[in-house]
Amino acid sequence: MNALKRAVLSFSLAAAVAAPAAFLAPPAALAESALQYRQAILQDLDPSSADRLLKSDADRAAVRAALPADSTAIFRQAAELKDLMDMLGAHSDAATLRRALTARPAPSELFTQPAKLLGWTQRHAGASYDLVRAVVWDWDKLTREQAAWLSPQVTRQAWEAMTLPKRHEHMRRWGQAIHERLMKAAPKTQAEVDRMRQEYAAVRGAISHDEAVDISRRLTMASRSITALGDVQSRLSKLQDPALKTMLDQARNARDMETTLSTLSKIYDRMGVANGSLKAVAPAEAGQTLDAGSRSTLAKALGPALMRQVRGTTAGDDLAEFYKTHELKIAVAPRKAIATYDDGTRTITFSEELILELVKGEGLTVSQFLSRGDAFGRAAALLAPVFTHEATHQMQSEWARAQKISDQSGQHRELEAMMVEALFTNEKMAVDPGFKAVTEGAADRSLLAAESLSLAESLRKNRTLFRNKIIADHYPELNSLEANLWCGITFNLMLVKELQDEITRRRRLPIAEQGRLARGPPFPKPGMTQAEWSQALRKVGTPFLEDQVKRQRETAGAKAEDYDKSRDRLAQADRKVAQAMQDLAQGKRPGRKASGVPPP
């Protein structure tokens, strides 16, 4: 056996015996292990120890028993370290990693102080050092354009002392200036589109997601209009139609992109040639807009059509069961995301733009679309995977309510919903030739269809990559499960500090004043804003402050239990999907499995 094999084997064995040892070890050894964890996590910021502690219920019980005063801080720090390490493992792109880092809602020195983050990365994730330098806008990693834009305002020394949010604020201003310019651009040649695309790629990491979508949408319109201009030119060269040639000139010389697209769309109509891809981005024609009435009619028709589509699959059977006791509410409204679930109104909303794209892609008006069963059925088939995703969010929310845990959004919820959706597409493609034909047929013109296929195949190929893609590409700005834990505890501990500061302040007041404040009212209501909280803090009775300290500490401590429940639910969903995919590979017919993720 060579040295390498010996090294691997000895450490594998060490890991394999670690958990049972924790159960069997005498109390002194548990305390020793707890002290080691405290040192490793709070002092050394060691991500391996953090990962191990979060995975081991026995070790966490040991830490809680041996170090009751520190255990919440240790769990908080462990979650933060795991969160950071998972981010580094999932992201390859500085722009999305920066979005993830800067989106965490609680203050953390590690996440906001570039020097601290770089020092930690060098010690614990050396291979990611270069990427993290780009993420924190390291001075030496700025492009020439970025440095030239910054230099009149900020010195290198000032930049190096700045927090990541401050640096990002500067770079956002640089990005927004470019965003503004690109949004007015109307490129007329492929070379101009390519230049615009390069600028977009350079600025993508400095602007918001919505701003990036705006530019990207503009690029799509430009790109499709240029392709169509070339296509029309070539078709017209074979026709003798002066009127159409005049229209082509009008399209080419139009000052704005919208006029170019609508003129091209009219040319295709007059030539009797279908061009769903151009029409999908062209301005709406008569009858291709939605009003309150048609939105409501569409929404009412979509519910039953979608439930018919999902029938006979694992997701479909779960949803049929769920909607026996819960209301299915569908809406159609303007949205940047293609669909959303709102737990306040318990409604699944599809993007109006997406629906109109399907309507325009069919070359129909809204009323024709609604009355023609075949076109509406095709749209329902294309929307069905996304429906299973959003409906899973509704099930998750009901489950969270039943478990009495706060229903926090996060990557764990999206990961489960994406797995359900991808499994649905895999199963439906296998059992429903009609769905298969519609989806495959639409894949060339509908990105919704193409992306459903890609997601389904990605789940089948490699689940680690599937998970990373969801975290890094789909939802970088959402909290991970660990972020919910450490950010939640951070807020609770901040409140505890504010409460304690107020109690200390009161103790220094004259006795009469202390007596008056002791008789103060209770906190007015749960769910206060920051300003309301600060005001209430000065007025409420001192015993209520002391009670609140206790409550906040208990809430912080209970967050680890919420974390366990959500983590276990995700693990259960993962096993269920893996089993269903294996069954599918073996040719078994899909359907509800006994080992399902717990219904609410």
User: Which residues inside 191-220 make contact with another protein, applying CB under 8 A?
Assistant: 201, 204, 209, 212-213, 216-217, 219-220
The phi, psi pair for 59, rounded to 5°, reads -65, -35
* Sheet containing 339-342: order of strands: 330-333, 347-351, 339-342
Per-residue contact flags (x/-) with another protein for residues 303 to 342, judged by CB under 8 A? --------------------------------xxxx----
Does 585 sit near another protein (CB under 8 A)?
Answer: yes
Q: Identify the residue among 70, 86, 482, 562 touching another protein (CB under 8 A).
A: 86
Kindly identify the residues of this chain, within the stretch 217-276, that bind another protein according to CB under 8 A.
Answer: 217, 219-220
Single out the residue of 568, 570, 303, 597 nearest to residue 414, CA to CA. Answer: 570
Q: Which residue is it, tokens 């047929």?
A: 441
Four-residue CA torsion sign, 68, 73, 76, 77: negative
Contacts of 255 (CB under 8 A, 6+ apart): 186
Distance CA 27, CA 235 (A): 84
Which of 468, 500, 555, 572: binder of another protein (CB under 8 A)? 468
User: How far apart (Å, rounded) are the C-alpha atoms in residues 95 and 497?
Assistant: 35
CB of 291 to another protein, least distance (A): 20
Decide if residue 46 touches another protein (CB under 8 A): yes
Q: Closest approach of Cβ 345 to another protein, in Å?
A: 22
- Tokens standing for 129? 């050092």
Taking CB under 8 A as the rule, does residue 567 contact another protein? no
Question: According to the binding rule CB under 8 A, does residue 131 interact with another protein?
Answer: yes
Residue 554 lies near another protein (rule: CB under 8 A): no
- Assess 354 for contact with another protein (CB under 8 A): yes
Min dist. Cβ of residue 372 to another protein (A) = 24
206: CB partners within 8 A, 6+ apart? 168, 171, 172, 174, 175
Total residues binding another protein (CB under 8 A): 84
Which of 66, 79, 84, 90 forms a contact with another protein (CB under 8 A)?
90
Contact assessment for residue 600 and residue 402, using Cβ atoms and an 8 Å cutoff: yes
Calculate the alpha carbon distances from 575 to 420, 463, 569, 580, 589 in Å: 12, 11, 10, 9, 18
Which of 5, 144, 519, 525 forms a contact with another protein (CB under 8 A)? 5
Provide the mask over 419-458, with x wherever binding to another protein is found by CB under 8 A and - wherever it is not: ------xx--xx---------x--xx--x--xx-xx-xx-
| Tokens of residue 319, six digits | 């949803």
What are 188's two structure tokens? 């007329």
Q: Is 44 in the site for another protein (CB under 8 A)?
A: yes
- Taking CB under 8 A as the binding criterion, the range among 44-52, 370-378, 562-570, 591-599 that sits at the site for another protein is 44-52
What does the block give as tokens for 545? Answer: 């402050």
**Which span sits near another protein by CB under 8 A: 7-15, 282-290, 340-348, 506-514?**
7-15
Q: What is the smallest separation between the CB atom of 76 and another protein, expressed in angstroms?
A: 17
Q: Does 116 engage in binding with another protein (CB under 8 A)?
A: no
Beta-ladder partners of 348: 330, 341
Integer Cα distance of 259 and 86 in angstroms: 47
Looking at the Cβ atoms of 74 and 375, the one nearer to another protein is 74
